[in-house]
Amino acid sequence: IADTVKEEVLPQDEQDFDIELQKFAASVEATEGHKQRRIALLSKLSRVLQTNFPEEDIELTTFGSTESNLALRRSDVDICIQTHSRTSKLQTTCQLARLLHEEGLVNIVCIPRARVPIVKAWDPSLGIACDINLNNSLAKTNTAMIKACVEYDARIRPMALLIKHWAKCRKFNGTKGKGVLSSYTITCMLLNYLQLTDPPILPSMVALQQNDYCKPKVQLNEKSIGSLFIGFFEYYGYRFEYESYVISVKQGYLLSKKTKVWDSDQNNILCVEEPFNNMRNLANTANEMEVMGLRLEFQRAYQILKRSRDHAGLVETFREF
Ligand code: GTP
Ligand code: MG
């Protein structure tokens, strides 16, 4: 018996497609310029808060893709403002919206009655969009989870970047939050697919946390990025049973809609459990027609990539409409 395990070498065509995918992912990820603009926006906001609330201890942090290392060129900056006192003078997102307006930001949309009240805005002088919330610490926790998952295996990051980009190109992830699914939701769908792949690429979130988010010693799955990427579209296009199951990144497997008593609500056509609040369905924004459309999009991407695992196939998959 050999005492060393021979590493599987991928066939040349699979290696070529992986290189192509990685190049594509690099072409959509946020640039150094995006990072600089993000930093400039943060210091602008920090100055505005200090000027308007000089006595207060107000903390500004970023979360979302800029922290999980999944930012695209077209990503917004997700910002959390934490006021550390209950008597803070900054109490509402509408107040914040006024300050942003005075500072020259435009396209300001205030959503005060959302589950997490936010303000969306565009900074024309920096050319960057932001989503700002007040005192929502859950977002930092789930961003840390996404980050740990992305770091778990080098194949995950390019796939996640490409799938988020695909969702934007195919218009079911809107820039103004009008999309059928958020980037976060579709990222959770990818993570669960990787947990269910045989052998799994990613453990359950529970296992990851127990292991203190440590990297694995052995990775039993040596599939190419390309075959996993195509497999993702095939899985959600043809195999996943939308009617019966709930996607759970926390557990790393599928839960039954019936057991969760999520089967009788018409907002639960596609079910993606929020890992840190298992009462919440992240995909309750998608109605029956939209889920059907989404499924057809997965099928479309699969059919294209099955035929042409090359640059032309990727261009077609990501074609904007
Ligand atoms: P891009 O901005 O498109 O690059 O995507 P993103 O990866 O930043 O994701 P998105 O903007 O959709 O969400 C940013 C962060 O907000 C996520 O990392 C989550 O922490 C949080 N978030 C987004 N949507 C939800 C939601 O529906 N529920 C909860 N609990 N958190 C959410
Ligand atoms: Mg974001």
Taking domain 32-136, whether its CATH number is 3.30.460.10 is answered by yes
Within a 10 A sphere around the Cβ of 288, how many other Cβ atoms? 11
Task: State if residue 188 touches ligand 1 by the CB under 6 angstroms criterion.
Answer: no
**Structure confidence at residue 2 (pLDDT):** 43
Q: What pLDDT, in 10s, does the model give residues 1-30?
A: 444 545 668 899 999 999 999 999 999 999
Report whether residue 63 contacts ligand 1, using a CB cutoff of 6 Å: yes
DSSP 311: H
Average pLDDT, the chain: 92
What is the topology classification, in CATH, of domain 12-28+140-317? Poly(a)-polymerase, middle domain (1.10.1410)
**Cα-to-centroid distance, 275 and ligand 2 (Å):** 18
Q: Is the CB of 65 under 6 A from ligand 1?
A: yes
pLDDT confidence of residue 178? 55
Average of pLDDT values for 245-261? 97
Quote the ligand 1 centre to 119 CA distance (angstroms). Answer: 14
What ipTM describes this predicted complex? 0.96
183 contacts 139 by C-beta, under 8 angstroms: no
211 Cα: distance to centroid of ligand 1 (angstroms) = 24
Higher pLDDT, 270 or 266: 270
Distance CA 60, CA 82 (A): 6
3-state secondary structure of 310: coil
Q: Measuring CA to CA, how many Å separate 61 from each of 81, 122, 180? A: 7, 18, 27
Give the ligand 1 atom nearest the CA of 277: 30
Q: Where are the domains of the chain?
A: 12-28+140-317, 32-136
> What is the dihedral sign for C-alpha 113, 72, 149, 294?
positive
How much distance in Å is there from the Cα of 11 to the middle of ligand 1?
A: 37
pLDDT digits (tens, 9 = 90+) for 183-230: 999 999 999 999 999 999 999 999 998 876 666 667 899 999 999 999
Answer yes or no: are the C-beta atoms of 194 and 200 closer than 8 Å: yes
